[in-house]
Structure 1
Amino acid sequence: MKILTGNNLESGAVTWWAGSWWSIHVEDAVDVGESGEAILQREEGARRVNSPYIIDAIATDEGPRPAHIKDRIRALGPTVRPDLTLKPADPDAGDWVI
């Protein structure tokens, strides 16, 4: 499974490609398969995110999870304080639909 990630240009928030928009929730990420490079080129041209890139992910019951630890931390937050992680339904997270 391949998913796209980047950072919101206005807020710096980590974002995930959700099929037609960018979400701050990794659970919204979709498998881009072989289309990843084409989507990256289009999105870099649209300048909606900073430095988007393709990563490997693993499908789980909770949604996709990045395969590499660096991107898991970007997706799920701190590794030592689970109470600080961004919850999918967290009303304080805001709606960063780009």
Structure 2
Amino acid sequence: MKKRKIPMRKDLLTDTMQPKKELVRIVVDKDKNVSVDPTGKKAGRGAYVSLEPEKIEAAKKSKVLDRSLGVKIADDFYEELFAYVDHQKARKELFGDKK
């Protein structure tokens, strides 16, 4: 049986290559709206970040997402992203990888 290729993406916060399933995509659409893209299929410029809440806090301080996506990101989006990442990390620890 042939092994399936695992898609890898570069984590913007740690600068390492990781499996796409272990990252979350942040996307900026053509109207400069920033959103979390759990499906990974929204149109626009995207950046992948790890599911580590402490890395999100560091990204907020260093403004690395602002530079990468080319748009000013509001503090409330960072709070939304932190809550999403924290929730996903808890789910992963509780249920593990089902796939």
> Could you state the TM-score of these two structures normalised by the residue count of structure 1?
0.32
> Quick check: which one's strand share is greater?
1
Name the structure with the higher helix share: 2
Greater Cα radius of gyration, structure 1 or 2: 2
TM-score, normalized by length of structure 2? Answer: 0.32
